[in-house]
Structure 1
């Protein structure tokens, strides 16, 4: 077990990425609390998702920016080397062929900062999650 020296939370993995401190109340507040060099990527992701899902609520859930419509549709979060995008496992399966160039796991996609965000793909995934009810 590893204990974060800032917030005192314990984790299975050494130096595990997590959010320390009070959970932000808005997506903008979340982005402003991130390192300055990644804020532009987070604002870009936020803009893509706002355009893709204009009629859903924005909130913070699991300490991450979340888009909600009767349930959590998708989440995203900033990390040291990538943006984590969380559309859920069914979306990963559905878009598997188009996600081959990205690292994925059961319900997450990593978009590295050294590549442009695939806005069209993110839009399609977010809309699919909202329209089908398959969600994060």
Structure 2
């Protein structure tokens, strides 16, 4: 069992279902990224550098696409609770798949640019 599967297995149905949705969205958005369990939460990495992370907390999922990506999507995040490093998606609302996809792709573009110099 992978570290991500172990992480998902610890949650009850609703949280696990939402985590699996998030997993599918970010993996589809960055299919070349490697899935791992970094910082004790599901993480996608490129060349051993963290791309995005996500985790379940109480009544929400937290998504960590990086500070630059969050700043670039500031207007799109107006309806969501967010900080400089993460955005929270309440469990009782549908995940905004298009927004998560766009942020994941943006984070990937930034990381690829940084890796190529």
- TM-score normalized with structure 2 length: 0.90
Structure 2 residue corresponding to 1:55, chosen from 23, 28, 32: 32
Deviation at 1:63?
Answer: 0.2
Which runs of at least 4 in structure 1 moved beyond 3 Å after TM superposition?
none
Query: Gaps spanning 5+ residues in structure 1: where?
Result: 1-23
Give the secondary structure class of the aligned counterpart of 1:97: coil
Query: Gaps spanning 5+ residues in structure 2: where?
Result: none
1:110 aligns with 2:98: no
8 Å Cα contact 1:91/1:107 also seen in 2: no
Structure 2 residue corresponding to 1:120, chosen from 80, 95, 98: 98
Q: How many residues align?
A: 112
Question: What's the CA shift string for 1:47-101, capped at 9, x where partnerless?
Answer: 0011111111000011000000021000000111100000111111100000000
- TM-score normalized with structure 1 length: 0.78
What's the C-alpha RMSD, in Å, of the aligned pairs?
1.7
1:30 aligns with 2:7: yes
Q: Relative contact order, CA 8 A, sep 6+: which one is greater? A: 2
Q: How does 1:60-79 map to 2 (within 5 A)?
A: 60-70=37-47, 71-79=49-57
Deviation at 1:25?
Answer: 4.3
